[in-house]
């Protein structure tokens, strides 16, 4: 069974988080993670000015997701940075192109889950995931978050992302990489999605 991991990452933070989620999926027997990017909407010139060109080059080997891959997957984990408490424009544009899948009910009954990031500790991680869930519900997907059985949610040892809605990371000025606790949350979520998908597919 396949879990499609679809993401957008301008500076590479979400890329690292979804790689961890894919590790979690692959740790479950009989499950395979397939990682895909959504199309970029910004020009090379704009990405260069934003200092994102190098991070984009490091992800160039990852194929762009197709709508057929969405419908063929048994579950989908989405990864998006936060933009003012919502998903990024690149992810929104990708999802807005799934109208024909909605018409056919292609995603009904599939597990859907979300991972995100923000610049600050209270920068809209939870609202991004919750507002993302609206689209998944319209598609008829079964929403899976990050339960408190992931003990890392209880940490008081410092600043950390992750909530019951999904794994997340805080990037600060861009120099802060995902902490091990945040990556562990993404791995846990990937395995959790994989295990629930197996149960639903029986």
Q: What is the residue extent of each domain of the chain?
A: 2-201
Strand partners, 115: 79
Q: What is the mean pLDDT of residues 2-14?
A: 96
pTM: 0.96
Q: What is the mean pLDDT of the chain?
A: 95
Q: Which CATH class is domain 2-201?
A: alpha beta
The pLDDT-based confidence of 128 (bands split at 50, 70, 90) is very high
Question: What count of residues does the chain have?
Answer: 202
User: Residues 140-192: pLDDT tens digits?
Assistant: 999 999 999 999 998 888 889 999 999 999 998 888 999 999 999 999 999 99
Distance separating alpha carbons of residues 189 and 50, to the nearest angstrom:
31
Query: Do the Cβ atoms of 169 and 17 come closer than 8 Å?
Result: yes
**pLDDT at residue number 141:** 98
- φ and ψ of 131, to 5 deg: -70, -30
Distance separating alpha carbons of residues 2 and 124, to the nearest angstrom:
30
Q: What percent of the chain is modeled with pLDDT above 70?
A: 100
Query: Do the Cβ atoms of 71 and 28 come closer than 8 Å?
Result: no
Q: Which residues of 184-194 are buried (b: 16+ CB within 10 A; e: fewer)?
A: bbbbbbbbbbb
The pLDDT-based confidence of 57 (bands split at 50, 70, 90) is confident
Query: Do the Cβ atoms of 41 and 83 come closer than 8 Å?
Result: no
């Amino acid at each position: 069974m396949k879990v499609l991991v679809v993401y957008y990452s301008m500076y590479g933070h979400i890329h690292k988080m979804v790689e961890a989620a894919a590790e979690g999926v692959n740790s479950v027997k009989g499950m395979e993670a397939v990682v895909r990017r959504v199309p970029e909407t910004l020009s090379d010139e704009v990405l260069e000015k934003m200092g994102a060109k190098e991070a984009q080059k490091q992800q160039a080997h990852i194929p762009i997701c197709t709508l057929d891959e969405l419908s063929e997957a048994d579950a989908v984990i989405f990864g998006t940075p936060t933009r003012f408490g919502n998903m990024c424009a690149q992810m929104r544009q990708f999802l807005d192109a799934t109208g024909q899948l909605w018409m056919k009910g292609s995603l009904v009954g599939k597990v859907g889950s979300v991972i995100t990031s923000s610049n600050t500790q209270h920068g809209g991680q939870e609202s991004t995931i919750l507002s993302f869930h609206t689209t998944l519900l319209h598609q008829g997907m079964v929403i899976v978050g990050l339960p408190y059985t992931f003990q890392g949610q209880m940490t008081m040892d410092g600043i950390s992302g992750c909530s019951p809605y999904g794994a997340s990371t805080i990037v600060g000025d861009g120099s802060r990489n995902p902490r091990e606790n945040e990556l562990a949350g993404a791995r846990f979520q990937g395995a959790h999605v994989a295990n629930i998908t197996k149960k639903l597919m029986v």
